[in-house]
Structure 1
């Protein structure tokens, strides 16, 4: 659950940038390309998936077909992994111990964690 924040830090992403992730659209910590990718990640995470034609046009203008396939596959895998972990109540494994973790704790997660 907390591996993403740990990997990000290992790859040089600052704590401030990780903390700003929830407000990426208005944050000065993210480039326009990063904001576009994060918008795409948000759209792919919606249920049902809602990727507008406008958003996909912006992505096609920025990335090659191969890059779009790789980006989409990576986002789909992360969505799969996150949903799988949440369904089984998988908890953080201590990768962010003593550090900031960008993992939100929603009502569904809290209620699952409270189960005996």
Structure 2
């Protein structure tokens, strides 16, 4: 399977990434990292960061962190200003 194959299947499974067989170990680590950054009641501890460093280079970690932070910024910035989703990445409803 190429990197782009299964992309829509992964989008459909993103809410269930922990249980889905579609995500690689690196993708699972990135999703865990994103969740820990996003949820205010969680933190990125040394163990998780060590796991992130096993899968990604320093430059990739900076880029990943910036992308996560930007999406978190948008999620807080857009709603009060009435900026609606543009429909580019629709996450399917949970089953």
Using the size of structure 2 for normalisation, the TM-score is 0.78
Aligned mates of 1:94, 1:26 — CA distance in 2: 26
1:77 aligns with 2:70: yes
* Matched residue, 1:102: 91
- Once the two structures are overlaid, the 10-residue window that deviates more, 83-92 or 63-72, is 83-92
* 2:47 aligned residue (46, 54, 65): 54
Aligned mates of 2:60, 2:8 — CA distance in 1: 27
Q: Greater Rg, structure 1 or structure 2?
A: 1
CA offsets per residue over residues 38-78 of structure 1, 9 Å max, x none? 01010110115511211111011222222211111111111
Deviation at 1:86, TM superposition (A): 2.5
Pairs aligned (count): 90
Aligned mates of 1:46, 1:80 — CA distance in 2: 13
Tell me if the contact between 2:18 and 2:28 (Cα under 8 Å) persists in the aligned partners. yes
> Structure 2: where are the runs of 5+ without partners?
none
1:27 aligns with 2:16: no
Using the size of structure 1 for normalisation, the TM-score is 0.66
When the two chains are superposed, the root-mean-square deviation of aligned CA atoms in Å is: 2.2
Deviation at 1:102, TM superposition (A): 1.0
> Structure 1: where are the runs of 5+ without partners?
1-10, 105-116
